[in-house]
Structure 1
Amino acid sequence: MAPEIAGIDQQPVVQVELGSLTIADSPRLDGERPEHIHALADAEAELPPITVHRTTMRVIDGAHRLHAARLRGRHTIAARFFDGDEAEAFVLAVQLNVAHGLPLTLADRKRAAERIIAWHAQWSDRRVAMVTGISPGTVADIRRRVLREPERAGKRIGQDGRFRPVDGSAGRIMAGRLLTENPGLSLRQVARAAGISPETARDVRSRLNKGEDLLPRQRGRRSGVTAPRAVPEPRGEFVPLAPVQSAGRPRAAPDPDRAGLVKRLKADPALRFSDTGRNLLRLFTLHALQNEEWDALIDNVPPHCRDLVADLARQFADLWSDFAVRVQEDVVQTG
């Protein structure tokens, strides 16, 4: 849960007069949906508290619930107050409407990202993505369109509140120097020291091992920063799953035996007899589909939610990538 949402959930619930509240500046481009308002009004259960901007008495989250309360003939409604400024109130409105209730449409979330980038140009793509529920790549495209200027040297604030450079070249070069001088450092230690992500640190280490340019091709051609010497790649008994194919539906290669690998893991008592181990096995089992089954899933995603499904898939892929880095680090450190 985002810190802002968690903070709101800790605020006291009070009864507020309906006549004192206003509805404006909603992240929903098409406004409220009458059918949803009537469904809430007809529900027997008590509705959750709405969220109100104390300074303006504007409803941040819960416009449908407010209309439903009026249909029920109520004069007051349960609410929690938020004390930030109006820009912060809008960010919170987006977060709350992405996290629960009637979800924002993709168009709503993209428009919200435009406004957030205009207000907080220093926020990282990933931080904006976490707020709006779209992919970091989509945020980057929106940023280029909204700012209409090339990236400048500087830093952005990530979702963890830390500043990181917009141009990662300096961080990659520093990471290469750290790994060269101290091969025993973990990827997380290198990432923290160089101000880059653990996945970027792993890429730098891989480039060092291969004697390649430390920077991606588009920047490496003009920098010429190459590895001074190879750093030994940590070894363990980790068997990587086959990489996800990013383009081209037809596959020439046969299906990897993911199900077989998962079956081997299921036989390991260290995983079978612990709650966390069983959770991990369940996750792997869900992913151990044949390529034809993945194709069937893709073909049957409804057109109206394909963008949302793709965005979620990318976010989960990022989580798995970070998971893989951290698991391999633990193997190296304890091996």
Structure 2
Amino acid sequence: MGLHLITADTAPAVSGPAAAQEPAPRHRVAAVPVDALLDADSPRIDGQNSDRVRMLAALTSPLPPILVHRATMRVIDGMHRLKAARLRGDATIDAHFFEGGRTEAFTLAVRLNTTHGLPLSPADRTAAAQRILHARPHWSNRRIAATAGLAAGTVASIRRRSGEQNAQLNTRVGRDGRTRPLQATEGRLRASQVIAANPAASLREIAQQAGIATATAKDVRDRIRQGQDPLLPKRPAPGASSPAGPGTLPQPDSPPRPATRASAAAIGLLLPNVGKDPSLRTEAGRMLLQMLNVHSIGDEAKWLRLARSVPGHRADLLAQAARRCADHWLRLANELETRRT
């Protein structure tokens, strides 16, 4: 789920799966005394950017309302705007209020700062993920990754390094708020990795290396051969409302996806055969397949090496360029999914 800065006229209530993560700010705007507000528990390690504060202070148009945690009167989102108001001597500032706990307030602050305004640095995102993981170890890697603007594999690495692999946690809570067993998921993922490394492996070998039953290994292998995800498909919660229903918040970081999503292992096995399809032997088809092959990063270790090879003074620029490329790929994926028959 993604949340954008909400104005008084565009703050619908949240329902369905979107409500399972963090409550939305109330839509009513209030003029709050500047002196009554506490500085944010900010995910920014280096604090606010003074140049941005001065730029905002110089604007003649009204600034969008900030977001405040009602229980503590601490700013959740909008510290640059609050400092700009202080700089120009404003007595009050427009604000929305958020009802919830401190951890939920921090999580919401991270999410908002990854979707608009001055981008969080990679170090900011990593530190935020570490903090959320410590407070909510039962959250899935994908849920934390979506909040912090990271890849799920990065969160998995942070989890391993931080020692938050609590043996008592046999389940994880996903982005939709549903609880799923952890062991079965990890076993199926390990099986898909075994198959990707050795497609000719027997079911007994796959089951033994992945630590799962032979029947499960067969199901994983069959699903991969059919181009499906090795994980079992998600079932909608009974009575769940449509994500596009009235009063539902837009979800820019959760684009429409097919019911089953092929894993990296499945794609690695199937993509070479797709190139043999005569219907794709067009200029556009060949270009798309070539781009997919060129831009395929592969396993976590490979992209981690790429990230670590970038000098610090170029990291922000290249991160923004990578996100721009990711946006274009997501748009392409959305367009392709709408054309499925």
* Band of TM-score, shorter chain: 0.5 to 0.7
Matching residue's letter, 2:218: A
Cα deviation for residue 47 of structure 1 reads 1.2
> TM (normalized to structure 1)?
0.60
Per the alignment, residue 220 of structure 1 pairs with 210
CA contact (8 A) 1:155 1:165 kept: yes
Aligned partner of 1:140 among 143, 156, 161: 156
Q: Which has the higher contact order (CA 8 A, sep 6+)?
A: 2
Separation in 2, partners of 1:10, 1:308? 31
> 131, 147, 168: which one pairs with 1:115?
131
AA paired with 1:227? K
Query: What corresponds to 2:53 in structure 1?
Result: 37
SS at the partner of 1:36? helix
Alpha-carbon distance between aligned partners in 2 of 1:81 and 1:228, rounded to the nearest angstrom: 49
Distance change (3 Å), C-alpha of 1:32 and 1:289: same
Partners of 2:207 and 2:327 in 1: CA distance: 25
The amino acid across from 2:82 in the alignment is L
Separation of aligned partners in 2, 1:321 and 1:217 = 33
**3-state DSSP class of the match of 1:51?**
strand
Q: 1:234 to 1:64 in 2, by over 3 A?
A: closer
Indicate the residue corresponding to 1:47 in structure 2: 63
Q: Contact (CA 8 Å) 1:118, 1:147: kept in 2 or not?
A: no
Distance in 1 (alpha carbons) for counterparts of 2:84 and 2:25: 22
- Mapped to 2, the partners of 1:162 and 1:66 lie a distance apart of 37
d(CA) in 1 for partners of 2:327, 2:182: 20
Match of 1:304 among 315, 320, 325: 315
User: In the TM superposition, what whole-angstrom CA distance separates every residue of 1:111-146 from its partner, at most 9, and x where no partner exists?
Assistant: 111110111010000000000001101101111122
Partner of 2:143: 127
C-alpha deviation, 1:153, in angstroms? 5.7
Aligned-pair identity (%):
34
Cα distance change on mapping 1:220 and 1:8 into 2, 3 Å: closer
Q: Aligned partners of 1:51, 1:161: CA distance in 2, in Å?
A: 24
Q: Is the 8 A contact 1:127 1:159 kept in 2?
A: yes
1:57 to 68, 73, 80: 73
Query: Is the CA contact 1:151–1:166 (under 8 Å) kept in the aligned structure 2?
Result: no
Are the counterparts in 1 of residues 32 and 94 from structure 2 also a CA contact under 8 Å? yes
How big is the shift at 1:108? 0.8
Q: Deviations over 1:231-268 (max 9, x none)?
A: 69769xxxxxxx99x99xxxxx9xx699x9496889xx
Tell me how far apart the structure 1 counterparts of residues 331 and 325 of structure 2 sit (CA, whole Å).
10
Letter in 2 for 1:119: A
- Cross-structure match for 1:280: none
Q: Which has the larger radius of gyration?
A: 1
Instruction: Kindly indicate which of the two structures has a greater share of residues assigned to helix.
Output: 1
RMSD: 5.1
Q: Tell me, which stretches of 5 or more residues in structure 1 are unaligned?
A: 173-199, 236-242, 248-252, 267-283
Q: Is the 8 A contact 1:50 1:79 kept in 2?
A: yes
1:58 positional shift: 0.4
Q: Which amino acid aligns with 2:210?
A: G
Structure 1 residues 214 and 103, CA gap change in structure 2 (3 angstroms):
farther
Deviates more, 1:148-157 or 1:19-28: 148-157
- Is the partner of 2:153 in helix, strand or coil? helix
Aligned length, in residue pairs: 264
Task: Find the aligned partners of 1:300 and 1:261 in 2 and give their Cα distance.
Answer: 36
1:96 partnered with 2:87: no
Structure 2 length-normalised TM: 0.59
Deviations along 1:25-47, one digit per CA (max 9) or x if unpaired, are 21111111111100111123321
Q: Structure 1 pair 137/83, CA: closer, same or farther in 2 (3 Å)?
A: same
